[in-house]
Amino acid sequence: MVSSLASTARDEPYGRVVVRAALWLAFLAPFFYLSYGFANWLASRRDDVGSIVFSWEHSIPFLAWTIVPYWSINLFYGLSLLLNDNRQGVDRLAGRYLTAQIVAVACFILFPLTATFVRPATTGLPGFLFAVLGGFDKPFNQAPSLHIALLVIIWDHWRNRLGGFLLPVWHGWCFLIGASVLTTWQHHFIDIPTGALLGFFALWLFPRSGALPFSGVRLTSDAKARRLARFYALGAVLALAAAALGAFFCAVALFLLWPALALAIVAFAYAGSGSKVFQKSADGSITLASRILLLPYRLGARANMWAWTRNLAPRVAVADGVFLGRFPTASEANSFGTIIDLAAEFEKPAGADCRWISFPMIDLLPPPASIQQQAASALESARRDGTVLVCCALGFQRSAGVVAEWLVATCRAKTPTLAREMLMAAGRPVHLAETTEQAAS
């Protein structure tokens, strides 16, 4: 039932894991209370602290017993650090906690908000828990809800470790924790989506496995990449400005923070981080955090794909069972033996049960020659087992470059120019670019 914890073998001696977790807790706990309390204190000294409340929130009932699930997140906070398989898992979870706390407290200081509902008197266990909470938690520190951000992080940590009947129980308890921020009158509604966005950002910044988005980042020297980075950064700034200005008229404008963050992440990719910001694996899957955070960008990419390819055949035959096309649906993919997928931004569609091999490449930029050669080699190997579709978003550039590489490498075309002509003759628009290494030579 507890898939990870029930394992008889661990990646590291558990004693080392516990020591690392204890050290992190020794830092995180006082950091939380000091920084959180400082933000509360600053807000209490200001006379211009506002609130964001929708009229329908006045109908939310006060349920005193929900202070129990509200408080339970403190238990799971510590257990999540202590129950890990290795020190990297501890470090990445602690990184998520720290990210959520730093960003949330910065927002509390820069843009303080207050809760407006006055709780009725309570007795018994709920009354005791409310009294303890009131000892350090004043009616400030609202959006983004740090409680919700930490809940997202902790929920994700355990959903990958629990199985059987414990998993739906866990989902249900997390729902109670999330709802309790409203039914205890600790938060207003706008704090929940902003807190969830922060939680998923922390998950994206410190993924469970794989490279960190910011690891090994160098500012690109490619002029086109810099231009695209500036373009997306401008979009992020405009969306952020619209959210900030629009909030003075309607709190719904704060939902523009979502596309603002998505565009900022894409700008970061073009500025030097590359395709790893999309967190796509070799099997075509994408992390939950990436799916959530970059959804606004992906919706735009889907619309762009439809606009460019709606009047074109979804794929064209090139040679010897190899096809070139746009990113397929599940039914289209299942008509092939293998999919060679080069679109970093799209996830393998649900229901696609064919062989799927992904070489994530960022759009509109020439890929490293080594990656293109690996994809061409995988194409030749897959071709021996059946038909192959090589795809990217549109089927114009990334996929065309790999197929052209394959045509030349297998002597089906003597030169890159002849390979381009073969692709054009197949009936697909082709926009081939030099690979990064070729451009440098």
Q: What residues act catalytically? A: 392
**Residue whose tokens read 């807000």:** 43
Q: How far are the Cα atoms of 4, 151, 160, 176 from residue 1, in angstroms, in the given order? A: 9, 21, 11, 22
φ and ψ at residue 28, rounded to 5 degrees: -70, -40
CA angle 52, 56, 57 (to 5 degrees): 55
Contact, 275 vs 362, CB < 8 A? yes
Other beta carbons within 10 angstroms of residue 384's beta carbon come to 11
d(CA 343, CA 284): 9
Q: Which residues contact 316 (CB under 8 A, 6 or more apart)?
A: 323, 324, 325, 426, 427, 428
DSSP-derived letter for residue 270 is I
| Token pair belonging to 148 | 């919700």
Directed axis angle between helix 146-159 and helix 166-183, to 10°?
A: 180
Quick one: which H or E segment has residue 319?
strand 315-319
User: Which among 290, 265, 285 is positioned nearest to 348, based on CA atoms?
Assistant: 285
Q: How far are the Cα atoms of 24, 152, 306, 429 from residue 199, in angstroms, in the given order? A: 19, 5, 32, 41
CA angle 73, 29, 102 (to 5 degrees): 90
User: Which among 12, 136, 148, 122 is positioned nearest to 67, based on CA atoms?
Assistant: 122
| Token pair belonging to 44 | 């209490």
